[in-house]
Structure 1
């Protein structure tokens, strides 16, 4: 009996490791190996031709220096656009998530379905649709011009605001859902208690609702900001040569120029900057309630 009990305890100790083993193998194959391959490529020198490039590992850190010196403007622009889109997503998604969580009643599932429905259409099609809407000959430009909100020669397409608007629209769903989940978990009796203590609506929001919804704000901000920084579709279709983001540069270096070391170095630089920014952001807001 003692032997059976001992073997049972051993199996119970091994079981958790066996359960996470598939995930670890998956991460090892599809994340760790590509990451080290990318790092090795970033320290290589390229040769050959555009049609048949060759790579030689040479600890070439000059690729990183060139990434900062030549594409600093695109890096800054990418983070600026993404930050603006994230802020807009918070401002637009919070009221909607609040209404769904507290005011929708039996229509809650219907409204959630309507929110999610447009995102069943592929990312590219939605972006091209916005290109049509914002076109110079489109109805939106004509309508804004007729009421004096846009100059005669003014345009919406190929501007910074078009790119930021595209980023906001395409990623806002990743802000709405975490905010809704966070708000839906708030006990309405806490809000009622604040009103019983003669708190105004504004004070109830700032002292009760907003602090309790911060896990959703934090999660939504990261889910929007991180993919938006590396996005190149919106800048490609809604922007111009003056609104190029770092994702466009990386895509061109990989697929057109075939300068793989430069593209890999840019990718790693972007990854490190995002990682540092996320760590600082989560440290500032806290992550205890995310689990």
Structure 2
């Protein structure tokens, strides 16, 4: 049976702008097995998992569980947490080691707005960039079959910098990954792209590989990825976006500007499953043109 990601890859469909909305990310280390709904189907206390997810989502962020690709014994103990926040154009990544997962809930309730904070709040310390690779096979087999080997390879080369992650969305684009602190989401990731993403800088990629920056609104996310692929601009603070319905006005700090029409297209002629084992559905994708 052809995997969902093989079908989408063979069709040459763009991943442009498909990153989920997330103004900030919280990645909590949780060793051991993960179920399809990992926050409540892992060794993490289910009620605590629900509370953490609710608290992060309420504030405009997104929670993921992570684990070491090389060794994640099913034991309790201290665990690492990464938080990627900061305003658009000024991202940061903080890291801390907590005595227990419950400590994270108390911190989330005490921290200032992570979308606006200029620096990581205590006890977070500035962290080297990390790459989170989706490997949650209970959610979709593509993620485990394609993501896990890549995560292991990266972890062997860069200890502490590459982590397995729970659902990042977009199974059909496996292998998918999230680069922090840039908050750029990647599709059809191979070793070469993963190595580049480990630098933590925003990348100028083609429409096949760039799912966009999760901290931008949907329309700006699409326009931003499209423009970066054409201009090569990788400074997240260089561009400003304003929207009037389907038209996006993009301005560069050097004076250049663009008027872009951002549209979601669909086709009934080609139908593909968005996840392994599911029925095929009409495809949709984002398209950008200059007004």
- Give the TM-score of the pair, scaled to structure 2: 0.26
| Greater relative contact order structure (CA < 8 Å, 6+ sep) | 1
Structure whose residues are more often strand by fraction = 2
- Give the TM-score of the pair, scaled to structure 1: 0.26
Structure whose residues are more often helix by fraction = 1
